[in-house]
Every structure is written in structure tokens, then in C-alpha cells.
Structure 1
Amino acid sequence: MLLKTTSLLCMLIALLAITASQAEIYKVVDERGNINFTDEPGDNPAEPVKLKPSSIISPPPVIPINNQVSEAEGQRGYNFFTIKQPLEGETIRNADNLKVSTDISPKLKASDSLQLYLNGKPYGKKQKGASFSLANIDRGTHDVSVKVLNEEGKVLNSASVKVHLKQTSKLLPKPNPTPVPPSP
């Protein structure tokens, strides 16, 4: 019964589409000389308009973006992966050590690992933990990225941020503290 109803509904939709595509269009000039186009001529004198056949253009094929997970990888992929700390564009002052923490969903699988990259080069070893510590980092702007790798080393997901490390020069004298007025 459901198949008959579905078939009947499809035939009605197709019939309506054919009827709509063959509808007449009329050019009507009103009392003020304005030109209107309509599918119902009404009481005013109307001139039928002959239209060229409509063009049908097929959409281009869908090309998957590199960071999309394929169906084969869908069962192994991660829905969410980001660097929580430091924030994108953050300026970190007077620190030569940097802490990086990530957030991943679902939880990192036993066969996968995380690899930290500093300025495009691997930093340290692959690990299972979501936090990294970088020591003795020079001042300046750095690209920090973390990649989720499977056991073959294939990148499953990645996240990156740009951070700015600022250091006070040891050659400059320390500023004098502002005196605090005595309390009454």
C-alpha cells in the first residue's frame, strides 16, 4: 500500500512540474503604460510571450576537501580537535617555557597518538597525553600545531595557533616600583 501511495505521489509531482513548465506567460500593459508579466492575463489586453527552452545545468562533481574524513576513516575519525591553550594570536610575556593543551572528541584511541610541531618541525616524541611542555623557546612569533596520527603516521586531524613570546631584555634596568601612598 505504501509503495502505491509513494508511486502515485511521485507521478502527481512530475505531472505538476510538466504543467508548470508549459504555463503561458503574458505581457500586460496597464493604464499608466507600465509593463507587467503574468500567468493570468485578467481583463487587460495581454500578449502571449514565447520563451526559449530553459537551460538545465548539472552541478560540478563534489571534490572532498583534504580535512574531510572519508567513509573508510569515518569510524576512526575525530569529530572535534583543537588547541585550548595557548589561544590564537596570544602574546605570552617573560616566559621561555610554553604549555600547550589540546581537546579532542571522541577520546584518543589507543592506536593513535599526538605529535607537537613548533614552526613546522616535530617537537619531542609522539604521545598519548593531551598536554605538552616546551622549554627554552626563543622570543618571537611561533607557529604551534598538534597533529593526530594513526599507527602508520597518517594525519587524522590537526590544529594550529600562532603565538608571540615577548621577553624583557636583561640589558634594560628594571622599572622602579610606583610608591604606594601611606594609608591614613
Structure 2
Amino acid sequence: MRVALILLILLSATFAHATVYKWVDENGKVHFSDEPIKNAEVVEFKENTQNNIKLPEVTVIPSAPSEPEEKAIDYKMNIVSPTEEESVRNNEGDVTIITNITPQLASTHQLGLFMDGKQMGSKQTIGLFKLTNIDRGEHNFVVKAFDKNGKKLASTPSRKIFVHRTSVNQPRFIRPQPRNN
């Protein structure tokens, strides 16, 4: 049964290459059809009237060897020290920020420390930042991880700390005054 169906389809496909018929109606209008009509004549096509499409040859442009894409790493980061809203008392304004990162930072990735929205120093590969001469007052710190192209990969939550320094208006050393009896 299947073989007969396949043969029938193949035979109908050969007849599907339809013949084109041309005729002129009583108004002088020329018509074309694939069905024979009374007084219609078969149109013979020359080889140059058939559409032949030639596609241009595909040229392969050699590409530069691409660098393997780095697998995206989901870093978990937080600032360990100082704690949230901790008061740092240091007259020189020294503050040390310690960051915990898991998993370990990839060799091509770097960390940047931001204080009050501005980057402090250059990017580095370790999570220990030592700052000096920080003004007294409230400061917000964020540490961000970047790939080699500067794209941000991860960030710590903002950490608010307070820096306490002796006022510059107060003298550093108060000399004891002798008593008058």
C-alpha cells in the first residue's frame, strides 16, 4: 500500500511540472493559465526565459582567535570590618576595610573600594584596604569586583561607619600651668 502511494506521489510530481497555455479572449486581452481552455495554445519557453539563480561563492573570512569567555562566577561579598555603624577613633584618620569574598577572586578580576560613591585608590586583587587621613564624620563604603574589561561582577552591601578625630582647632598638647598660691 505504501509503495503504491509513493509511486502515485512521484507520478503526480512529474505531471506537476505544468504546461502553460495562452489564449486571447473576445476583447483582445491575452490570458495565461495552467489549465487547457478551448482555442488555447501551448507556450514554449526558451532556456533563457527561465529563472536561474546563481549564488555567489561563500568566502570564509578568517577571524582573530577569540579569547575563551570566562565562566561567570557568582561572588558573595561582604565587609567584615569595621562593622555597621561602628565608630573608628583615630586622630590620623586611619581606617582599614576588610572584605570577605567567596569563592576566591579569579586572577583576572580586581576589587575596587568606594567611599561615599568615589573610588579610593586603584583596584587590587586582595580584600584588605588601608586608608589614611580620612575626614571625620559619617562615611559609606562599598567594595566592588570587576572583570578585566571593567564590568562590575559583584558588590558588597553599603557599610556605614563613623570616623572620630580630634578637632584641628584644639591644641595637641596642653601644657600644665603652675598654680599660683
- In structure 2, the residue matched to 1:120 is 117
Distance of 1:85 and 1:125 partners within structure 2: 20
- In structure 2, the residue matched to 1:134 is 131
Runs of 4+ in 1 over 2 A off after TM superposition: 72-75, 168-174
Whether 2:73 is the aligned partner of 1:76: answer: yes
Distance of 2:168 and 2:148 partners within structure 1: 45
Deviation at 1:165, TM superposition (A): 0.5
RMSD of equivalent CA atoms: 2.5
- In structure 1, the residue matched to 2:150 is 153
Q: Which has more radius of gyration?
A: 2
Identity of aligned residues (%): 37
Deviation at 1:169, TM superposition (A): 2.6
Deviations 1:123-164 (A, max 9, x none): 100100110011110101111111011111111111120110
Distance of 1:105 and 1:99 partners within structure 2: 20
Count of equivalent residues = 104
* Letter of the 1:87 counterpart: T
3-state SS of the aligned residue for 1:117?
strand
Whether 2:87 is the aligned partner of 1:94: answer: no
Provide closer, same or farther for how the CA distance between residues 106 and 166 of structure 1 changes in structure 2, counting only shifts above 3 A.
same
Whether 2:138 is the aligned partner of 1:162: answer: no
Distance of 2:94 and 2:117 partners within structure 1: 18
Deviations 1:1-47 (A, max 9, x none): xxxxxxxxxxxxxxxxxxxxxxxxxxxxxxxxxxxxxxxxxxxxxxx
Distance of 1:108 and 1:139 partners within structure 2: 32
Deviation at 1:75, TM superposition (A): 3.7
Whether 2:81 is the aligned partner of 1:85: answer: yes
Unaligned runs of 5+ in 2: 1-68, 175-181
Distance of 1:151 and 1:110 partners within structure 2: 9
Distance of 1:168 and 1:114 partners within structure 2: 31
Unaligned runs of 5+ in 1: 1-71, 177-184
Distance of 2:133 and 2:79 partners within structure 1: 20
Provide closer, same or farther for how the CA distance between residues 90 and 154 of structure 1 changes in structure 2, counting only shifts above 3 A.
same
Distance of 2:130 and 2:120 partners within structure 1: 10
Deviations 1:38-74 (A, max 9, x none): xxxxxxxxxxxxxxxxxxxxxxxxxxxxxxxxxx987
